[in-house]
Structure 1
Amino acid sequence: MSIEIKAPTFPESVADGSIATWHKQVGEAVKRDEPLVDIETDKVVLEVVAPADGVLKEIIKPEGDIVLSDEVVAVFEEGAAAEPSAAPAKAEAEPAAASQDLKVSPAARKMLEEKGIDASAVTGTGKGGVITKEDVANFKPAAPAAAPVAKPAAAAVVDVPAGERIEKRVPMTRLRKRIAERLLEATHTTAMLTTFNEVNMKPVMDLRSQYKDLFEKSHNGTRLGFMGFFVKAACEALKRFPEVNASIDGDDVVYHGYQDVGVAVSTEKGLVVPVLRDAENMSMARIEEKIREYGLRAKDGKLSMEDMTGGTFTITNGGVFGSLLSTPILNPPQTAILGMHKIQDRPMAVNGEVVILPMMYLALSYDHRLVDGKDAVKFLVAIKDLIEDPARILLEI
């Protein structure tokens, strides 16, 4: 029985997607729930799996094609067996030029036509010698034999470093394009300003060292990290300064009576910001557990659009990569974002004496149209006070 494979239903905020990768080729056997194709939107990569055991009968939308919500991308034959392997053997016996059409993926064939490249000149590296899109993108035609012989070229010879100067041009992914658009939107449509402070991390580090083993045992293996303290501190500070938790909608200011805190997560394809919903009501253990879950799902490309929509405030931690100081960019329509950085021992003056303390720079970027400088500074000082005296987080003082 033939089954139409359709793109997922996209939410209203996503107009379309593009075919990123076909994991299976026409005629290849597929098991139930095995990945067939990845569809990339401007927010996430969606995976479409096989509905049953069978064979991929036809690919309607090759790699790179634009697809709409619920559009048919392929035809699947349920219960069918894979095509016999006689075809590759026959192809080997035929001249190479005649078999190229049988060994070119749909996306590669489209690229060959666009670039006007003869398929017989490209070496396939895919399964069974199939020419993939990457093979075409990396193909370099042989230089004309007459060029080195030409006399005038001798006068134009210049010294260049040894080795080949390689350049690679690849199309920007939809996710990266969307990130670029949002970053430009933030810089063009907001009056962004950044204020800085520094926080003594020793109290939190001592508390973490004292209770981390007991915390892990009491909460089913959930580890106690620094992000939980900052999320809790941010929630308390947002209650005190509601304009930092607000957003601008046209000529109106929308004040949110809840704290949905986005936590920036880095992936191979770019930065994503899953949201901790109602973070003010979450325990420290739940916050740490949810952040770890989001991190693992982000690496595997399993985050859903619902995970990343909304959010009233964002926290980003460049310190995990060694950043000492930065100016984070706003995540519209939010009006503020908190940047954490690397913890570094520095000499500090304490009661007239020089003491070595583990210090972290904090940065708060905010939209000056809504948040006054005084309130932004006081907000950041509130977070500093809460982190330097963690008991205040519990007591909400």
Structure 2
Amino acid sequence: MPHRLFLGAAFMAAALGGAYPATAATTANASDGMPAASAVARFYEARQQPLWLRSPDAIRTLIDALRTAEVDGLAQGPELAATIERVLGEAQYGIPGADREAERLMSNAYVLHAQALKWPGRATMIYADPSLSPRVPTPAEVLEAAAAAPDLADHVRQTVAVNPIHAALREAAVRDMRLLGTPPRALKASLERSRLLPSEGRFVLVDVASQQLMMIEGGQVVDRMKVVVGKPTMKTPLLAGTLRQVTFNPYWNVPVDLAATNIAQNVLKNGLGWFNARNYEVLSGWDAAATVIDPASVDWKAVAAGTVEARVRQRPGRGNSMGDMKFEFPNDKGIYLHDTPDRQLFSEAERTFSSGCVRLEDAARLGRWLLGREPVAASARPELNVALPTPVPVYLTYLTVRPEADGTLAYAPDVYGLDTGGDALLAAAN
């Protein structure tokens, strides 16, 4: 049943004119399961005026959000909404202290909801740059931001929305919850992952599920392209880091396992002519002082058997697996974005062919967006690093359900099985 909120002039005058000392009304919830109680009490002690009772629109917005907060991981949201409505009704009838109790309840509930939306532990994401990890705000931070907002109702809406992708998926989850009792698992999983994305700023988003990259500014997708991601047996991890440079004329440093299973096997089968024709070289070791050595000096049988490790790399130039440029960001998974000469793979509907790194349909276009100019190398020198004007976050996520520009939802196969038990998340509605 829709709630009704009619704040009479006498009630508003009493509420707005009353002081907010630390009375039993503001501290009574120390044992009612609301950890924000003491912070809320201190907030009103300092403020000495109501926050919510000044804005009926904000109250309606908060109650509506709490009614559906189960999709955000706040299971008690509907109960909180009902309690707030009950106490507001008591205030309408002039029950002493009900106005202050309503204020306390609304602030407590809002703090809990805002914190639930920033809780980092429900969805799996590796933060290679720890500064990108969502931080749960303190109760004081939540309330002070609300008090400083020019429009409290709009502030609540923005808090619940988190970001445009999350807002669209949340709307769909709420609709499905009302129709079906619970949203489909894929939608719940994508909703949780979208919650970890930024609410503002400029960043790169790689959706591993749909194998596409999006360049995002101010909440809007300004460009997108296809990508190739890891095979189901060599999954691209869900990862967040910071891009700081473009590397032109990159070497491809062949992973040790591929040197054994691919390079060594082909050398044994086809000879060193195969190796040299593909522009490979072998280095003497793994440190910066390593030098190029004669591939004929390598025991390729031992490399193939895994008893000797060979450091193999492919020189820049035609056919190099990295293409003309790569975009690295520090992470211990060895994952980066890069150009590729294998253009035919982008015509495939499902593009899960890499060993984990992300191959770009149009690396130059991404480079142009990141650099703010044409991504042209100043020389042919290998591994030419060019710093970005401003570091740009990159998020590798997995959205089997995602919103499209026209407001519809698009679906992608769960190629990694993360929605069906491979990713322990979804505490909210399971």
TM-score range, shorter chain: under 0.3
Higher relative contact order (CA 8 A, sep 6+): 2
TM-score, normalised by the number of residues in structure 1: 0.23
TM-score, normalised by the number of residues in structure 2: 0.22
The structure whose residues are more often strand, as a share, is: 1
The structure whose residues are more often helix, as a share, is: 2
